[in-house]
């Protein structure tokens, strides 16, 4: 049970459980909220850590350069800094449309995918062909090896990755 969320229904349950008045229960819950407000919750822009080996089907070093040349206009790998597209830190093997602080298209919100190598490859190849009404309006990337290299690079980026230097503008 989260101490940071309280409601009238929660106060009623607490009052009933401890045999106290609802108003006293609300005050107690407010006290817990005040105590919990000093906590630093995980930012909503983080994807949960996924333990997965780095993708071996491409060259991550080449992928980093390709990412910089093709993706940084719309994406970042810095938490809390979405651009036109969502930040991509920890995207490999994560569920789609997971960041709470990014407004996904209706189509992406209902895609219910896992960003594995196969799904990333198809999506990067031609986003609009895979998901009509996507907001990712990049040109198709027909070169299979370039896509594999980008996927290899993205697979190396997890939450335990070292701090990333400021991206070029």
Looking at residue 96, which CATH number applies to its domain? 1.10.760.10
Return all residues near 129 (Cβ < 8 A) that are at least 6 apart.
Answer: 140
- On whether residue 143 sits in a domain, the answer given is yes
45-64 mean pLDDT: 80
- On whether residue 130 sits in a domain, the answer given is yes
Helix, strand, coil in percent for the chain, rounding step 5: 40, 0, 60
**Residue 52: predicted pLDDT:** 75
**Residue 88 sits in which domain range?**
68-156
- Quote the pTM value: 0.66
| Overall domain count for the chain | 1
**Tens-place pLDDT, residues 104-155:** 999 999 999 999 999 999 999 999 999 999 999 889 999 999 999 999 999 9
CA 104 – CA 10 distance, rounded (Å): 32
- On whether residue 41 sits in a domain, the answer given is no
- On whether residue 86 sits in a domain, the answer given is yes
- On whether residue 26 sits in a domain, the answer given is no
- On whether residue 51 sits in a domain, the answer given is no
Bigger pLDDT: 72 or 161?
72
- On whether residue 18 sits in a domain, the answer given is no
């Amino acid at each position: 049970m989260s101490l940071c969320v309280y409601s009238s229904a929660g106060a009623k349950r607490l009052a009933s459980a401890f045999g106290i008045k609802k108003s006293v229960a609300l005050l107690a819950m407010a006290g817990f909220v005040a105590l919990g407000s000093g906590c630093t919750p995980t930012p909503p822009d983080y994807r949960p850590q996924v333990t997965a080996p780095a993708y071996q089907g491409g060259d991550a070093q080449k992928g980093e350069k390709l990412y910089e040349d093709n993706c940084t206009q719309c994406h970042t790998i810095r938490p809390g800094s979405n651009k036109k597209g969502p930040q991509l830190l920890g995207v490999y093997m994560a569920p789609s449309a997971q960041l709470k602080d990014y407004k996904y298209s209706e189509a992406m919100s209902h895609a219910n995918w896992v960003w594995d190598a196969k799904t990333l490859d198809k999506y990067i190849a031609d986003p609009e062909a895979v998901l009509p009404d996507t907001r990712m309006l990049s040109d198709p990337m027909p070169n299979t090896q370039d896509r594999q290299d980008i996927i290899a690079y993205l697979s190396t980026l997890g939450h335990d990755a070292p701090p990333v230097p400021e991206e070029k503008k």
